[in-house]
Structure 1
């Protein structure tokens, strides 16, 4: 199997059949053996019947139905597990992602990239989505150091070894480029066409962006400090202890010189910094002890083995 196209959806009955036909229009000329994997994330409309109608015409369609809505990360994870293609394309089902970009994603992969992310350079969304999205993408670039403009774009292409090396859960699907980059995979980006929503309404609200920032913290922890917690908590603890001790030493010198320490808020600040520092340092030490007591060696993406 050359290509798998994974499409999670929720209540997209008006879009699915048109999406299928567009995909076939742009993928068939590539002369690739491909499959379409649709993940029904708990739809309550007529989406499944529309897909079954398309499947009668296109046997390459495969459908996985969830009993309830579990979220996009779970749907993508299920699709990745079932994908048989050497290359995996993901896209949204609302017709905002353009299947005409699939050949362009494949060409970019041929340049030596392992993951290629779409960039909705010109978005057709309301300002209530575009402004928070820009803030989210800027913060993610700043904290991760990965120069991608659009982490939220659903249109991406992966080599199979990428999705096999990186498990996803929660809402971590938007951080797959980050996780892939830290595993040593080469990540690229291309501008893609973005269309205004034709049917229905968006399934994501402001809550998604708040969850996204929480997940960003999770990603930073599990990639940088999961196997070396002392590097984070120990450093924070030492900084607090240093400044706390410095304040207490200065106050002690002043006390020996006859200055009273009553009504000196700095005294309580110094004590607080030392206590917080000791607790943080101890937390890092305990974390290191727990890590070393188990077989928690990180799993790395091996590119090649030559014997």
Structure 2
């Protein structure tokens, strides 16, 4: 079995860490456990040390993604399991994630099943993100935002420069793995209700997740975005031209503008595809 590290980003999670770390050490004795204290004002770091975990402290809060990057750089294992410190993720699910990873996958995501979402609104938002990410990557994405996952450390570190410092790291790493051609699998889990108050703000972080999807999409598969927009503008221009031709027998400036916009948008997509191809060629060298 490859060496294993467990990375737990935590901010003011001293109450939940006691039970989580006790459970982890009983299930996986001797495994490297790294608690990244993201500027906590409680005893998060002290609790981690007293329960045999390695504590890495940020002097101030940098964000969940920043804590993940710190943990990934610190981890010594060939495989890293990322999980939350708020009591949502069951350590008993870790062996199932590792067993799935051992089948030849590069990342296994704990996919939350029905009833695991914190609210109806968040569940609907995650469903929308999953559908959009599936279109952008060309693969079925069952849970885009799950923070419970097992990854091969070497491949995960390839994308550290892409990861945002906020709560969007699962979104970015999932899409990056798919577009890079790495194997991703999903393992069904049930996530419990978190203990304490969530640090995620639905409107602010939801908008950020959406922007991250488009950002990664344009980085790895630009034509997935540009081609539909160009086609929509072309069809709109044709429809408007048909209407004006039948009504006033004229080709209007609006039709010309839409046709021009569709061509420019399509050409921007082609140029972006060429830039992406050059980027991959440079990385392979």
TM-score range, shorter chain: 0.7 to 0.9
Match of 1:169 in 2: 163
1:234-245 counterparts in 2 under 5 A? 240=233, 244=237
Structure 1 residue aligned with 2:182, among 182, 185, 191?
185
Aligned length: 278
Highest CA radius of gyration, 1 or 2? 1
Residue aligned with 2:14, SS: coil
List gaps (5 residues or longer) in structure 1.
303-307
> Offset at 1:212?
0.8
Residue aligned with 2:125, SS: helix
TM-score relative to the length of structure 1: 0.76
Match of 2:197 in 1: 201
1:94-243 counterparts in 2 under 5 A? 94-121=86-113, 122-123=115-116, 125-167=118-160, 168-170=162-164, 171-198=168-195, 200-206=196-202, 207-225=204-222, 240=233
Q: Is the 8 A contact 1:34 1:85 kept in 2?
A: no
CA shift in 2, pair 1:241/1:20, >3 Å: closer
TM-score relative to the length of structure 2: 0.81
Structure 2 residue aligned with 1:41, among 30, 33, 38?
38
Residue aligned with 2:221, SS: helix
Match of 1:276 in 2: 261
How many Å separate the matches in 2 of 1:108 and 1:234?
A: 36
> Offset at 1:185?
1.6
CA shift in 2, pair 1:79/1:125, >3 Å: same
> Offset at 1:68?
2.4
How many Å separate the matches in 1 of 2:6 and 2:83?
A: 8
How many Å separate the matches in 2 of 1:103 and 1:95?
A: 17
CA shift in 2, pair 1:169/1:270, >3 Å: same
Residue aligned with 1:123, SS: coil
How many Å separate the matches in 2 of 1:156 and 1:44?
A: 27
Q: Is the 8 A contact 1:39 1:63 kept in 2?
A: yes
Match of 1:305 in 2: none
Residue aligned with 1:24, SS: helix
Structure 2 residue aligned with 1:267, among 245, 252, 256?
252
> Offset at 1:137?
2.2
Q: Deviations over 1:6-57 (max 9, x none)?
A: 11111112111211111111112xxxx5311111222223322322333xxx
How many Å separate the matches in 1 of 2:232 and 2:121?
A: 40
CA shift in 2, pair 1:17/1:297, >3 Å: same
